[in-house]
Amino acid sequence: MYVDSLLCTPLEKERRDHRPALEEIAKGRVGCITVTVGFWEDATESMDQLVKWRYMAEDNADLVEIAYTADDITRIAASGRCAILLGFQNVAFLQGRLGYVEHFARMGTRVGQLTYNIQSDIGGSCYEPSDSGLTRYGKYVVREMNRCGMVVDLSHVGNTTTMDAIRHSTEPVAITHSNPSSLAPHARNKPDDVLDALKDNGGVIGLSVYRNIVGEYTTAQKWSELVAWTADRIGVDHIGIGTDFDQTGGMDYLEWMRQGRWAREIQYGAGSKSNSGPQPKLGWFDDPSQFPDAEACLRDRGFDETEVAKIMGGNWLDFYRRTFKAL
């Protein structure tokens, strides 16, 4: 089964271009994706987003279904469709209310990234010049997410906060879309000590093909080298794919993603002033329809059948079985 631990594409009900994007997912035979329901939205706005995603799934039931358990994922994938996991790239939906963790978990939220592109009441972002570490409130949130079976995602989280969260979590955590900074230096990527801590925690990293954080590893051959390096560092059991694909968002969506309502000045996120727009694709793994090409490049690198199956989706499915809980 192919699993993508982070899809950034907006596919909500109100978007007219979601059907072709869903068809790309189906063409790639992707069995499960974690979608991005929101970034900066408050609790009410986030609930509105969840409703839109539910409507979209109901209207495209021939292609997708929202999954709430690991068994749902295997059942949906076995039917030839894609299981959608509802995730947020920030926990702004909590609005400082610890009790909302369980509420949003009961509404189907399965993944929550602790911080996004700025400091929050949870902890530090990867883009802050000084990382505060996990706050007292953040520690409560991590434990409550553990209890409720909501995956703690550390992708955009600052390294000090990330290490604090790994130490404080009683469950395996995820880095759903990032790469090793030793190979591709970038604030969004993770240093060796974080990767080692993730391994010791039993977590999984989704290696990305987003151009801004892939460094020089842009070709199939080079990207498979990045995967092999990571496997040598932390073991093949801790590696998956988290593409960070945005198939349809456009510039307005990118601007909302990068700065929400918190800044008037232009924010560049993983880009820069000289590299500010939507990023060009890599040319070989550009959308979900090309997941088979990613599998082929791993085989060409020398990964065996079992290793390929784990990286392409088996590790994420095992991770979900270990972390999702019924409430």
pLDDT recorded at residue 315 = 98
What phi, psi does 284 have (nearest 5°)? -135, -25
pLDDT recorded at residue 279 = 77
pLDDT recorded at residue 112 = 98
pLDDT recorded at residue 290 = 98
Helices 220-234 and 291-301: angle between axes, nearest 10 degrees: 70
Domain that holds residue 143: 2-323
What phi, psi does 13 have (nearest 5°)? -50, -40
pLDDT recorded at residue 250 = 86
- DSSP character at residue 237: G
The β-bridge relationship of strands 2-7 and 239-241 is unpaired
- Which pair of tokens denotes residue 189? 């990527």
CATH assignment of the domain containing 190: 3.20.20.140
User: What parts of the chain have a pLDDT lower than 50?
Assistant: none
The model's pTM is 0.96
Our count of domains for the chain comes to 1
pLDDT recorded at residue 269 = 86
pLDDT recorded at residue 45 = 98
Q: What's the count of helices (H) and strands (E) in the chain, helices before strands?
A: 13, 9
pLDDT recorded at residue 47 = 98
pLDDT recorded at residue 56 = 95
pLDDT recorded at residue 13 = 67
pLDDT recorded at residue 272 = 83
